[in-house]
Structure 1
Amino acid sequence: MRSISNRFFYAIVVLLNVFAAGSICAQQYRPIATWPDETNARIEEFLNTTLTVTDRKVAVFDCDGTVFGQAPYYLADEALYDYADKNYKNRKDKESRQKMAILDRMVKDGNNVGKPYVEDRVHFLSGMTPEEIATLGYDCYMRSYKGKMYPEMKALISNLKEYGFEVWILTASPEFLYQRFVASELGIPVTHVLGVKGVVKNGVMSDEIIMPIPQDDGKAQVIPTYIKAVPLIVGGNSRGDMDMLNESRGLKIVVNPDDVTVRGKEDGPMSGHTVKSYWEKEGALIVHCNDVRDRNVSFKTADFKIRTNLENPKK
């Protein structure tokens, strides 16, 4: 009896090993057609090194300019300025005057990647329900940004899911504004889209902001605060993503990095470099996605004289 039991036990072990091996082999990389062979080879090689990882496999990406286009304006700005133009501009009631005062402050600031500016986006949306804000963002995406989600990044994210990765998106835009359309387009949980958080009170968003703000060093702080794992892959596109990218313990991916502006002393280790030259020095994977203005779309942001983002035609 003991001999039969032992043979049965070993047979089960063999079968389990076969199933485990088959499961690993089933995770197959699908090359991204418009990226060079060497880029695909590097991604595939890295993903194959994660096959035996047994704890959480996490990938974190910036949003605007990293997973979808930001030319000529950030979607967060377009959604707010368009809404203000339709609902508050030239009106004399108290709410309209208060909301336009916030917008006037934002326009005067002009630094739409600075923390005071991104905080004011939340202040502008205060008083609306999360559902109303999500609809505002989704409608803006469908109206002015549909088709600007980078197909290469969608393909990359599909590969990451195949390899068992959790995919998270970090944005300096209001969280409720981006969650619905980003989650829908990328096929990830709504809760995996993290942005600037406003406290919800009595069913509406207040102007009280929950720290950290996912901008500059705040993006790096969001990862342990909310994701609670050290990412194997981090992707970004700008100087503001430097701290977040340095949280990666594996692959760093930089999309359409600027190669014109030489950063100053205030940019720390990036001082004396362009974004591209810095990340080339650091061994990051540089990739390119097409981001050009759709000339058939009229952007209300233009009326408020907000600076445009550079176009990045696919090379």
Structure 2
Amino acid sequence: MNKKHLMSGIVIVLLLFITPSITAQTYREIKGWSKEINERIETFLNTTLTMNIRKVAVFDGDGTVVGQAPHYLADEALYRYADKFYKGKSDKFSKEKMAILNRMVKDGNNVGKAYVEDRAHFLAGMTPEEVANLGYDCYVESYQGKFYPEMKQLIANLKEYGFEVWILTASPEFLYQKFLSEELGIPEVNILGMKSVVVNGVLTNEIVLPIPQDDGKANVIPTFIKTRPLVVGGNSRGDMDMLNQSCGLKIVVNPDDKTVRGPEDGPMNGLTVKGYWEKEGAVIVRCNDVRDPKVRFHTSEWGIRENAINPKE
């Protein structure tokens, strides 16, 4: 082989190795979001191409990747299960489980730490598989079709750019892992939530700290994910601390623009959730989230407040 042919062969081999790395990371337009939002996301993702680090994106669950109108899936799964298996029964176990739910209803604050802890207490005594199937069955019957297509497209883009995608929810971890993993195509171990200690194959009442609510969500990131994320997405006041862990892009879905937050909300004091994130320069996006009138929601019948609808205009 002469020198010219040898050099041609080397160039071809190099192109074979180089070309995939160029074409593998291609941004695909997210249909349903504006050109401006797409350009902003694409520009940011392109800045990460040369990074030689763990590229991590973290998203809240309810209201961020999947619809939450009129109720959180975690609540619907529990109240639906209680109506089917415990309500009206006189045995000790059923009475204990109903007492937990009655306490939750009396509390009424289903984004408070005591309430989210009681969700875990209700599931104590079940196996992880039973809890996963409980969540999955509720998803199939009442929430299938409520995943936001725009967020699924965003997650697909992140994977294209070599990101690890994590979900961080205040809901019980085992309850959400199966259906979220299936819908979003991410490993179940990348779905973090309220953790209960498992002993002899069943969940116990012992909760693993930090509790992933409010400031606890932010603490879960260094505790379990163990690196600072480049992208964080959320939707509510409860996601503020988690969103502020992002060292890159902050994406806020359907933020509330009606309730002016008070002093207890720290830096949000005097602002709505949307107003705060506009001031902070977050990417604010809209996704359609309305109630399906054909679906019976047991949570409504228990008197739990309804989440606001967010029809996409």
**Counterpart for residue 68 of structure 2:** 70
Q: Would you say the 8 A contact 1:183–1:189 is kept in 2? A: yes
1:185–1:55 Cα change, 3 Å: same
Measure, in 2, the Cα distance between the counterparts of 1:37 and 1:256: 18
Q: Deviation of residue 253 (structure 1)?
A: 0.1
Measure, in 2, the Cα distance between the counterparts of 1:13 and 1:178: 49
1:271–1:184 Cα change, 3 Å: same
| Superposed CA offset, 1:155-214 (max 9, x none) | 100010000000000010000000000010000000000000000011110010000111
**Counterpart for residue 192 of structure 1:** 190
Measure, in 1, the Cα distance between the counterparts of 2:52 and 2:63: 32
Q: Does 1:34 align with 2:35?
A: no
- Segments of structure 2 that go 5 or more residues without pairing to the other structure are none
Instruction: Give the one of 56, 59, 62 matched to 1:61.
Output: 59
Q: Which amino acid aligns with 1:72?
A: P
Instruction: Give the one of 102, 106, 109 matched to 2:107.
Output: 109
**Counterpart for residue 180 of structure 1:** 178
**Counterpart for residue 283 of structure 1:** 281
**Counterpart for residue 129 of structure 1:** 127
Q: Which amino acid aligns with 2:65?
A: V
1:16–1:223 Cα change, 3 Å: farther
Aligned residue pairs, count: 311
Measure, in 2, the Cα distance between the counterparts of 1:14 and 1:88: 69
**Counterpart for residue 221 of structure 2:** 223
**Counterpart for residue 264 of structure 1:** 262
Q: CA RMSD in A?
A: 1.9
Q: Which amino acid aligns with 2:53?
A: D
Q: Which amino acid aligns with 1:128?
A: M
Q: Which amino acid aligns with 1:101?
A: A
Q: Which amino acid aligns with 2:38?
A: N
| Superposed CA offset, 1:65-86 (max 9, x none) | 0001000000000000010111
Q: Would you say the 8 A contact 1:128–1:205 is kept in 2? A: yes
Instruction: Give the one of 219, 234, 237 matched to 2:235.
Output: 237
Q: Deviation of residue 54 (structure 1)?
A: 1.0
Q: Deviation of residue 22 (structure 1)?
A: 4.4
Q: Would you say the 8 A contact 1:62–1:171 is kept in 2? A: yes
Q: Deviation of residue 90 (structure 1)?
A: 1.1
Measure, in 1, the Cα distance between the counterparts of 2:10 and 2:107: 67
Using structure 2 for the length normalisation, give the TM-score: 0.96
Q: Deviation of residue 230 (structure 1)?
A: 0.8
Using structure 1 for the length normalisation, give the TM-score: 0.95
**Aligned sequence identity (%):** 71
Q: Which amino acid aligns with 2:67?
A: G
Q: Deviation of residue 14 (structure 1)?
A: 9.5
Instruction: Give the one of 303, 308, 311 matched to 2:309.
Output: 311
Measure, in 2, the Cα distance between the counterparts of 1:277 and 1:223: 25
Measure, in 2, the Cα distance between the counterparts of 1:53 and 1:15: 25
Q: Does 1:85 align with 2:77?
A: no
Q: Which amino acid aligns with 1:70?
A: Q
Q: Which amino acid aligns with 1:182?
A: L
**Counterpart for residue 201 of structure 1:** 199
Q: Deviation of residue 16 (structure 1)?
A: 4.8
Q: Deviation of residue 305 (structure 1)?
A: 0.3
Measure, in 1, the Cα distance between the counterparts of 2:10 and 2:122: 61
Q: Which amino acid aligns with 1:253?
A: I
> What secondary structure sits across from 1:31 in the alignment?
coil
> What secondary structure sits across from 1:51 in the alignment?
coil
> What secondary structure sits across from 1:63 in the alignment?
coil
Measure, in 2, the Cα distance between the counterparts of 1:86 and 1:36: 44
| Superposed CA offset, 1:77-121 (max 9, x none) | 000001011111111100011001100100000000000000000
- Segments of structure 1 that go 5 or more residues without pairing to the other structure are none
Measure, in 2, the Cα distance between the counterparts of 1:176 and 1:34: 31
Measure, in 1, the Cα distance between the counterparts of 2:263 and 2:10: 62
Q: Deviation of residue 20 (structure 1)?
A: 3.6
**Counterpart for residue 155 of structure 2:** 157
Q: Does 1:143 align with 2:141?
A: yes
Q: Deviation of residue 24 (structure 1)?
A: 3.0
> What secondary structure sits across from 2:69 in the alignment?
coil
